[in-house]
Amino acid sequence: MEWTDEGIILGVRRHGESSAIVELMTRGHGRHLGLVRGGAGTRMRPLLQPGNSVSAVWRARLDEHLGYYQLEGLRLRAATVFASSFAAYGVTHLASLARLLPERAPHDDIYDLMDAILNDFDDPGTAGAHLVRFELAMLTELGFGLDLSACAASGATEDLIYVSPKSGCAVCRSAGEPWRERLLPLPAFLAEASEATWTEQDIRDGFRLTGLFLMRNVLEPRGQGHSDAREGFIAAVTRPRARQAAE
């Protein structure tokens, strides 16, 4: 068995004295593990960093075997990732979200979105908005997508500012006003088709929204909770904006 694909490194763990097991999120083969000979050595260390994009050749005698990877770098992002705490937290959180997907099942849209996010991961606010959208995409991929396109009560497509915590559907201002204490805020950057600006509170509201549905529909049924990296990422991307607002 052999295939060639592009992949993003999610994680690496040592195997034996000199090898490493590398976990990739690949474009056409999903989340996939493989053994890299010499992967524990210093020569391979710059390549085998989470967040890096690689060209991968996977070989195994049988499809169900772990197999071996031969990897070449495509986009090495480690310098950017380790330059800031929010990026390091963000890459770790992206990997934890990807692990919610079944192994070896292709998820092209998720791969493309992850790749785009990692290519635009320099600004804390932008990174925060990207991660909220990624969590929304993961909910959809896992079968629990939210409907933010129209008001669940009136069918209106404008002035959508709430989300029902029960149905996961958007609610417009006029229909939701009597129940606003029971509804979740819908940040404008999620409700509007065009790019919208966001505040520190918008980012927090976005993560509160996605976090509720991820916890209830995905994590709790598996006996899991939100990762520490998620909380660290939220704190890291909102702290700079909060300081700027105070000044």
Find all residues with CB under 8 Å of 207, minimum gap 6, and list them. 128, 131, 132, 135, 230, 234
Q: What does the pLDDT read at residue 151?
A: 96
Asked if residue 86 belongs to a domain, the reply is yes
Q: Are residues 7 and 117 in the same domain?
A: no
pLDDT of 241 reads 52
Residue where one domain finishes, among candidates 57, 76, 95 = 76
pLDDT digits (tens, 9 = 90+) for 100-133: 999 999 999 999 999 999 998 888 989 999 999 9
pTM over 0.85, yes/no: yes
Instruction: Please report, in angstroms and rounded to a whole number, the separation of the first and last CA atoms in the chain.
Output: 59
Residue 168 lies in a domain: no
Task: Give the model's pLDDT for residue 242.
Answer: 47
Average pLDDT value over all residues in the chain = 92
Residues in the chain: 247
Domain boundary among 49, 76, 103: 76
CA distances from 8 to 23, 79, 217, 230 (A): 8, 15, 26, 19
pLDDT digits (tens, 9 = 90+) for 24-37: 999 999 999 999 99
Whole-angstrom distance, CA of residue 97 vs CA of residue 230: 10
Cα 228 to chain centroid, rounded: 14
Q: Which residues pair with 55 in a beta bridge?
A: 6, 72
Last residue of a domain, one of 42, 76, 110: 76
| Claim to verify: residue 41 and residue 102 sit in the same structural domain | no
Q: What is the pLDDT of residue 240?
A: 57
Residue 219 inside a domain? The answer is yes
Write down the pLDDT at residue 76.
Answer: 94
Domain limits for position 32: 2-76
Give the chain's domain count.
2
